[in-house]
Structure 1
Amino acid sequence: MSGFLLHLMRHGPPETPGRLMGRTDGEPTAEGIAACVEQVSELAFDAIIASDLRRAALAAQAIAAARNLPVRTDPRWRELDFGAWDGLPTSQVEPSAIGRFWEDPDRFPPPGGERWSSLVARVSSALEEMPACQTLVVTHGGAIRAALASLLGFDQRQLWAFDLPCGAVLSLRIRQGTPPSAQIMGLWQ
């Protein structure tokens, strides 16, 4: 089968878990960074791309240092912007409002936040410019789900139905084309 492997890794746990940390640039835990390095120790890749938010970028930098590879940051791999909810624990968001968001994030985006379709569009743009080599992308749960929507056609309900914990890695075989397509190779937690 032609193509290349793309490994999508969710960053390790942030110092302030349990919050809607979209564009909030929270610090990762040292343990989370070390766990990310360990999680990919057996994977082969020639390039590393990361969201420019610290919780992803610092993990990518630690992985890159262990492999003697450069890191390219790309803001298109950022998490969904939760607008007025960004940085808040879900308990501080009005329950019916967040319920509507989880039910239909395009129709009911967070106040001042980003629509789901916007996240999918920017991640799709990043995927279209992906180097055709084995690549690790250190990013966020929402961006990984957006990549799956773009590459495999999963709808939002399907994407919310599976757990994607901090430090998880999803490996895909990418077939080049317009648009690119993929086959799931594995999920490691």
Structure 2
Amino acid sequence: MTRLIVWRHGNTDWNASGRVQGQTDIGLNDLGREQARAAAQLLAGFHPDAIFASDLQRAADTAGALAALTGLPVHTDVRLRERHFGPWQGLRLTEAAEQYPEEYARWRAGHPDPGAGIETLDDVGKRLGVAFQEAADTAPGGTVVAATHAGAARQGIGQLLGWEPAVLRTIDSLRNCHWTELWHDDQRGWRLRAHNIGPRNDADSTAGHQ
């Protein structure tokens, strides 16, 4: 049995202010660093065999907290980045709604291709699904942790599990520094073991674009 832990990064100032981060490289704030340390203490108990992370600072630094406890290197992978949000990146959601009302309405409705230069859900899912699978393949029968982003995590998980978009939309986004646990074996393939597990903090953001 191979275990894959899909871990969302800690809080950032843009999370706190409701700005769309997408692939903008925003670092952790003090709360995010505290969350990463707390989550790393829990994840170290899984005795991971490998750690992967998006190359964006907020995810790479989150993974670094676990690396500091385990002595494992962090393997960065650009495919683990968040969904690209085009011209929305840097805007508050209220601003995106005002400037791109039709695209915003489609995005809120879960349209797979809302327009405005936003990466399609299909592209995000395929990108993350391949990256997750390749990460897991580095430690068959072991435990792999992949630090990524909320929207990217959900789409990649859905790709591995083979879930239809309507089903995937019923799953809550990961809170800051929380994770999803997936198991894989040759008989049953990928299956969901646990979701949104991690240290409790009421200041966490759950926005799927972060």
Who is 1:91 aligned against?
A: 94
Answer whether contact 2:6 2:180 (CA < 8 A) is retained. Answer: yes
- Which residue, 71, 74, 78 being the options, matches 2:77? 74
- Alpha-carbon distance between aligned partners in 2 of 1:186 and 1:63, rounded to the nearest angstrom: 20
- Which residue, 104, 108, 132 being the options, matches 1:102? 108
**Following TM superposition, where does structure 1 have runs of at least 4 consecutive aligned residues deviating by more than 4 angstroms?**
none
- Which residue, 34, 38, 57 being the options, matches 1:31? 34
Residue 122, structure 1, aligned to residue 127, structure 2: yes
Who is 2:203 aligned against?
A: none
Matching residue's letter, 1:108: P
- Alpha-carbon distance between aligned partners in 1 of 2:94 and 2:83, rounded to the nearest angstrom: 19
Aligned residue-pair number? 184
Deviations 1:5-35 (A, max 9, x none): 0011111111221222110111112223323
- Alpha-carbon distance between aligned partners in 1 of 2:61 and 2:186, rounded to the nearest angstrom: 29
- Alpha-carbon distance between aligned partners in 2 of 1:186 and 1:107, rounded to the nearest angstrom: 29
The CA deviation at 1:87 is 2.2
- Alpha-carbon distance between aligned partners in 1 of 2:105 and 2:35, rounded to the nearest angstrom: 29
- Which residue, 149, 160, 167 being the options, matches 1:151? 160
The CA deviation at 1:129 is 1.8
The CA deviation at 1:90 is 0.6
Call closer, same or farther: CA 1:98–1:39 in 2, change over 3 Å: farther
Measured on the aligned residues, the alpha-carbon RMSD in Å equals 2.0
Who is 1:167 aligned against?
A: 177
Structure with bigger helix share is 2
- Alpha-carbon distance between aligned partners in 1 of 2:167 and 2:42, rounded to the nearest angstrom: 25
* Partner-residue secondary structure (3-state), 1:40: helix
Answer whether contact 1:12 1:36 (CA < 8 A) is retained. Answer: no
Who is 1:141 aligned against?
A: 150
Call closer, same or farther: CA 1:160–1:20 in 2, change over 3 Å: farther
- Give structure 1 stretches of 5+ with no counterpart: none
Residue 14, structure 1, aligned to residue 1, structure 2: no
Who is 2:202 aligned against?
A: none
- Tell me the TM-score normalized by structure 1: 0.87
- Give structure 2 stretches of 5+ with no counterpart: 199-210
Residue 49, structure 1, aligned to residue 58, structure 2: no
Matching residue's letter, 2:20: L
- Tell me the TM-score normalized by structure 2: 0.79
